[in-house]
Amino acid sequence: MIDKRVRDFDTALAGMADGATIMSSGFGAAGAPHDLLEAVLERDWRELVIISNNAGEGDRGLIRLIQERRVAKVICSFPTSSNSEIIKDLYFANLIELEIVPQGTLSERMRAAGSGIGGFYTRTSVNTPLSEGKEIRTFQGVDYVLELPLTADFAFIKAKQSDRWGNLVYNKSARNFGPTMAMAAETTIVQVDEFVELGTLDPERIITPGVYVDRVIEVPGA
């Protein structure tokens, strides 16, 4: 029997270690898996590499891991947002590394990793500092830059509902990076508002099929 539901964070986070690379869903606070990130904080893992669109927002989740100096590097498109003076301070003190990737390229690199694509060419960032040192190739007279897949040890996702197979539905614009990160990492861990019975999610509306999901933990009202 397949049952990806877990009851506690220790089980959810099995295999986590210092130095792990973690994809963290969310755009700003919408869709951010705050409780999974804070469970990592409580368990004291360090030197983490985080892949996320932003480097924390507000006062929960990723921003707390960063404040507590557990994060060595963030790969993101836009690090600063509200309440992110801390990023600025750590960055200029050389206490955190930032790798800036254009937003669509960030997402597509993860999609490539999750779909067996060895790399892809995009026009995005050609003739800018973000394509320096990368292969440029011309197709039909247009220059494209080669971008490589981006994977991680873990993906942390927030979704609205899951069944025991790990099929997921999301809420509104909180979907954002969830479906792509779910396919891109070695182990995908999801926090959901609510578990539902197998068979109750409309198959036409399942956004992330359970094949991409390893573990799901219920965090009501998160």
Partner 1 sequence: MKKLTRPQIAWRIAQDIPDGAYVNLGIGAPELIANYMPEDREVVIHSENGILGMGPSPAEGEEDPDLINAGKKPVTLLPGGSYFHHTDSFAMIRGQHLDIAVLGAFQVSRDGDLANWATLDNSRPPGVGGAMDLAVGAKKVFVMTDHCTRDGQPKLLEACTYPLTGKAVVDRIYTDVAVIDVTGGGFVVREILAGLPADQLNAMTGADLTIADDCAALTAPAL
Query: Interface residues with partner 1 (CB under 8 A)?
Result: 27-31, 53, 57, 76-82, 87-88, 91-92, 98, 100-105, 107-108, 110-111, 122-130, 170-180, 207
AA letter at 184:
A
Residue in this structure with the two tokens 């927002």, named with its chain if needed = 57
Pick 100 or 148: Cβ nearer partner 1: 100
Q: Rounded CA gap, 183 and 115, in Å?
A: 7
CB of 178 to partner 1, least distance (A): 7
CB of 55 to partner 1, least distance (A): 8
Length of the chain: 222
The set of residues, in sequence order, having a beta carbon less than 8 Å from that of 144 and lying 6+ positions away, is 121, 122, 123, 126, 136, 137, 138
AA letter at 159:
A
Pick 6 or 159: Cβ nearer partner 1: 159
Q: Rounded CA gap, 191 and 121, in Å?
A: 33
CB of 20 to partner 1, least distance (A): 22
Q: Rounded CA gap, 139 and 123, in Å?
A: 10
For residue 89, what is the DSSP state? Answer: H
Pick 11 or 82: Cβ nearer partner 1: 82
CB of 49 to partner 1, least distance (A): 17
CB of 48 to partner 1, least distance (A): 18
* Residue 12 CA neighbour count, 13 Å, CB half: 24
Give phi and psi for 60, each to the nearest 5: -130, 160
Pick 196 or 222: Cβ nearer partner 1: 222
CB of 84 to partner 1, least distance (A): 9
Pick 11 or 171: Cβ nearer partner 1: 171
Pick 30 or 72: Cβ nearer partner 1: 30
